[in-house]
Amino acid sequence: FDGQPIESYDPIMYRRQVSYCFQQPTLFGETVADNLAFPYQIRKQVMDTQRVVTALNYVGLSEQTLHQPIIELSGGERQRVALIRNILFLPKVLLLDEVTAGLDENNKQVVHACLRQLNEQDHVTTIMITHDATEIAAADQLAKVVAGRLEVHG
């Protein structure tokens, strides 16, 4: 990463620069607010509620979602909350494992717009693992693993 072996980085500093969003998001605590306060807590900062609400709105969730118990969230809502948790403090690289797999078409478009903005305006490198033909067609650069070999296109 950045010309250095990953092992040479302090793990905490590395994780602040390279963030991984899982296909099956893991939420913790009791509410959405517990999850979205976490990035602030580990940095010993007070949660910026307005920034969090803006992020929720951007991915189609309301301010009321903050107080919602995580056990009441749909799979797509969980995925969007986990994504927000990963980008409240922008990493240099965002690794995304099938993050739109559980979303309906409208919410896929919302997440794609968010990811495009992160890439184009905030200069976050986004690397997506996907089987979705539309996402593959929209890629700026495509890397495929075929028979154990890496093929890069674009």
Assess whether pLDDT exceeds 80 at residue 154.
no
Whether the Cβ atoms of residue 85 and residue 21 lie closer than 8 Å to each other? no
Radius of gyration from C-alpha coordinates of the chain: 16
Q: Which residues pair with residue 31 across a beta bridge?
A: 69
Check if the beta carbon of residue 127 is closer than 8 Å to that of residue 94: yes
pLDDT of residue 37 exceeding 90: yes
- Distance, in Å, from the CA atom of 153 to the CA atom of 140, rounded to the nearest integer, reads 9
List pLDDT tens digits, range 80-139: 999 999 999 999 999 999 999 888 899 999 999 999 999 999 999 999 998 888 888 888
Predicted pLDDT of residue 52: 97
Angle between helices 105-120 and 75-87 (to 10 degrees): 10
How many Cβ atoms sit within 10 Å of the Cβ of residue 98?
17
pLDDT at 123: 96
What is the value of pTM for the model shown? 0.88
Mean pLDDT, range 18-22, rounded to an integer: 93
Band the pLDDT of 150: cuts 50, 70, 90: confident
List the domain boundaries for the chain. 6-153
134 vs 30, more confident: 30
Closest CA to 129 of 139, 119, 120: 139
Between 120 and 153, the more confident residue is: 120
CATH number for the segment(s) 6-153: 3.40.50.300
Residue 129 · residue 97 · CB < 8 Å: yes
Phi, psi of 143 (to 5 degrees): -120, 125
- The 10s digit of each residue's pLDDT in 41-72 is 999 999 999 999 999 999 999 999 999 999 99
Let me know: does 105 contact 132? Beta carbons within 8 Å.
Answer: no
Tokens 């509620």 belong to: 49
